[in-house]
Structure 1
Amino acid sequence: MDRSRRILPRRTLLAAAAAFAAGPRNSWAATPRVLAWEDLIPPGVPMAQIIGEGTIDVFKDTWLPVFDENATKLHKDLDGAYVKMPGYMLPFDISAAGVTSFLMVPYAGACIHTPPPPANQLVFVETKKPWQTDRMWDPVWVTGRMRHEIQSTTLADIGYAMDAEVIEAYEW
């Protein structure tokens, strides 16, 4: 058998394998789990058990909820999960380049115009690629790795954090 004929197919096979391995991996990437806000609440914890009775501020005409320990219970399966979810952007760090960190909230005005939602209904998002905007409350889809991270800020207690890989405009 001619040795040069055997070497050519091996080289071709090796070259094809190397090209395949070095090719784009987007088609192999994990598909994110699409979440709704109610998915952030752990199974078996109804929303009615998160928010207590609270008080009414008659001077400001607002209701001030009292959260119980269920408000900081987080869905254990979401820690480290690759997810995609919609929400409204409340910018924290903004510059001429855009927004690099923000609080994602379930409805426009949360934390500013109304009492904040419970901690397990808030997500702190950081991104390396700034989101271009000149306004608050942009509706967005955020895709990235979710993690449990209880944080206290002047606005609210936050239960989740996410490193955004992709931020897209969300059309309601």
Structure 2
Amino acid sequence: MDLSRRNLLLSVAAATALPKVAMADIPIEITWDDLIPPGVPYSEIISEGVMDERNDIWQPVFDSNATKLNPTLDGAYIKMPGFIIPIDISTSGVTSFVLVPYVGACLHVPPPPPNQLVFVTTQTPWPSDNLWDAVWVTGLMQHELQSTEVAETGYTLRADDMEVYVW
């Protein structure tokens, strides 16, 4: 009888844990506004800038709000849309990139603030012939301020899945 009670308890424990495991695979769909912490208006992130005449680029000057990150997203499994600015690209595709909120961000205009940029790595390369398409990226997000070739980023994302964003 002791053995069957043990099996019953183990079965109940496994059954209660199962929904938590299944729910962990369902990403939270977020937007770019969600990257800014609650209570920080976007208008307070961007300030003046200076022209780097030597390199012919505009260097924005951000205040401290630009590096404030949403604490609920650190360690969250998310899905978000954006555009790809490639960092590591080969004939098989892109394996690391900066996810940006709009086409041309970081390339033709001053970059958005760090809390509006996500550095993404993926094991499965994204085809290099689809670089202008908006994409959905799903994966584990972390807080990590870092400098890339194109801009300062506030978040990192290890992508498990990517697909073309359909309007």
Please confirm whether the aligned pair reaches a TM-score higher than 0.5, indicating the same fold: yes
Gaps of 5+ in 1: 1-9, 11-16
Structure 1 residues 150 and 57 mapped into 2: Cα distance closer, same or farther (>3 Å)? closer
Q: CA deviation at 1:54?
A: 3.1
- Identity over aligned pairs, percent: 58
Equivalent in the alignment of 1:90: 85
| 139, 142, 157: which one aligns with 1:144 | 139
Counterparts of 1:16-165 in structure 2, within 5 Å, are 28-30=22-24, 31-55=26-50, 64-134=59-129, 136-165=131-160
Q: In 2, Cα distance between the equivalents of 1:126 and 1:62?
A: 27
- After superposition, what is the alpha-carbon deviation per residue over 1:117-144, rounded to whole angstroms, capped at 9, x for unaligned? 0000000000011111225333110000
Q: In 1, Cα distance between the equivalents of 2:152 and 2:56?
A: 23
| Superposition TM-score, scaled by structure 1 size | 0.77
Letter in 2 for 1:132: P
More deviation in 118-127 or 95-104? 95-104
Q: In 2, Cα distance between the equivalents of 1:126 and 1:107?
A: 19
Q: In 1, Cα distance between the equivalents of 2:147 and 2:104?
A: 19
- Aligned-partner SS, 1:120: helix
**Equivalenced residues, count:** 150
Q: In 1, Cα distance between the equivalents of 2:37 and 2:93?
A: 33
Gaps of 5+ in 2: 5-10
**RMSD value over aligned CA atoms?**
2.7
